[in-house]
A and B are shown apart, each in its own frame.
Chain A
Amino acid sequence: MANMAVSRIKREFKEVMRSEEIVQCSIKIELINDSWTELRGEIAGPPDTPYEGGKFILEIKVPETYPFNPPKVRFITKIWHPNISSVTGAICLDILKDNWAAAMTLRTVLLSLQALLAAAEPDDPQDAVVAYQYKDKYPLFLMTAKHWTNVYAGGNSSEMIETITQNIFIS
């Protein structure tokens, strides 16, 4: 792996480990192999969203050309979100594609993904089924997202029942 990529990832790894978010347990990162090409990230579901209480694991692959090209990131934990494939975990986020900037870091990527969970973009979807549900049947979307969070990301089941009950009355 290129020297620049390795030295940068090492620094960024330290940056995440020292960050406030790690203290608040909202983001985590760990090394998968000694060549610094594969990492595993973890983000907490943001509060006041159907993902609250869940822990979402991410696969991060760092290319040789980093930081001139973005890291390849996908969700390992299954998630119900318009901009994330419910099958593969592929992410539709501009900063991981055309809008990547060399000054961005792993920390900013993880925080951007956390922000994406809180503010979906259904008009630029990765998963058309989820996007349709988000736009046309929002209560059902909330219920499904909460259910997936509970099943796959270790979410809170009592909150889940409460949400379902509320949604039944709303609809």
Chain B
Amino acid sequence: MDLSNIENWDTFLLRYPGIILSGSRARGTVKIKNKWYRLRLNCPYFPHLKDFSLEIQQPQKNTLAKISNNDLQTHWTVYDVMENLPILYNDCGFAFSSKEEKPVTTNIYQAIADLYAPERYLLELDDLCTRLRFSKFEENEQHYLQIELPSLKISDHSLPSCFAWEEQLQKYDNISAIVQQFQKYIQDLQPFYENFADIDELCYVVQPRPPVSTKCNWRIFVLRERVYLKLVIADPFASIASMSIQIIGPTQAVEELRRTLSEGLSTWDAELDIHKNLLRIFNLCYFPMPPGSGWLGGEADNASTGPQFCNICYSYQLDEGQIPIVSCDNIKCTMIYHAACLKEWFNTLSDGKDFLSVSFGACPFCKTVSFKRNLIYLFVKYPDARFLKIIINI
């Protein structure tokens, strides 16, 4: 290939910045008449079409559409082929709405090359050059970000699922800005992750099952035998202000704990994290730990610490990840159930009731005491005048 030929390719690459050249072969993504095309072309006598071949990936398929010389005019060059792609193969274009389109001012793949920084994160590009993945961020190895090319749409990420991160990150029109903002979010979310890290390490977390995703904004952990705490943080940027605590357990036990919690929340210590505050509120040295963990409280031989099966479905974990933590109000009855199984059981009873957030019915085992799964909301005045929502199961 002579020098003039290379210069010709340069002109071509400037016109189609999504194309990457390798010898006489080129591949990548181009936009022609509001449609994107993913293609591979071989043009040994550029820009002439002698021995020319072109393959286009079809949308939603893994097959390639090939354009042969029979479809082409004899006087055409590569430029003519590119301009006439919509006519030559009209159903190969990937249509994007104007909202998703990003102005591509520079070669997007050059921008990716500039972002290569192995000491800060791992950067991966898929074979079709349509998906870019950043992972193993420095000091935050579990985080990742996936961007669709060339639209720069966020297809996946590791941030908490309770917030519309995609909308926030979509505001930026270049990859570098998106990645920088993503890393800033990770830093801003440190208090959120630290609060949960303490609970994961120092409590017996029964749900979600480990390894817990960085997207998860809630935990259920053992408070004492047959009683569990469910902690939810609604706004990851304001962990304390947006947290809600639900107590799950037999009515009598929950009523006592509700009073303890209400009193304790009024003296919440803003200097301490959630875990330490909860220990102080419930007057504990430590929360129960999993059996055999070697930690204090880990050897406690009680019903709540060993994995027990639901006495309705006879399984431990449901597909949605639920585990059996609901127990009967009758202290002599040792049976535990999944909330979903119990609700379904109540629905089959003639005297069972299901109204809004309340479900009533007899225990499937002892049948003597009704369950009441009723959620009430308390708004407790906070030391710094904010309000804390507590959801309690009575």
Contact = CB atoms under 8 A, between A and B. Distances in A.
A97 to B, nearest CB: 12
A149 to B, nearest CB: 34
The contact size tier of chain A is 10 to 19
Contacts of A11: 314
B315 A103 contact: no
Contact of A4 (B313, B348, B350, B364): B313
B345 interface: yes
B313 A7 contact: yes
B394 interface: no
B364 A102 contact: yes
B348 A69 contact: yes
B319 to A, nearest CB: 8
B interface, size bucket? 10 to 19
A101 B364 contact: yes
Contacts, number: 33
B365 interface: yes
Interface string B337-357: 000010011011010000000
Contacts of B335: 103
B348 A103 contact: no
B312 A7 contact: no
B207 interface: no
A68 B340 CA distance: 12
A67 interface: yes
A8 interface: yes
A98 B350 CA distance: 9
Contacts of B367: 101
A65 B345 CA distance: 10
B313 A103 contact: no
A6 to B, nearest CB: 11
A115 to B, nearest CB: 18
A69 B365 CA distance: 14
A7 B314 CA distance: 8
A64 to B, nearest CB: 13
Contacts of A7: 313-315
Q: Which 6 A-B pairs have the closest CB atoms?
A: A102-B364, A103-B365, A103-B364, A102-B312, A11-B314, A68-B348
16 contacts: A4-B315, A7-B313, A7-B314, A7-B315, A8-B313, A65-B348, A68-B312, A68-B344, A101-B364, A102-B311, A102-B312, A102-B341, A102-B345, A103-B311, A103-B312, A103-B365
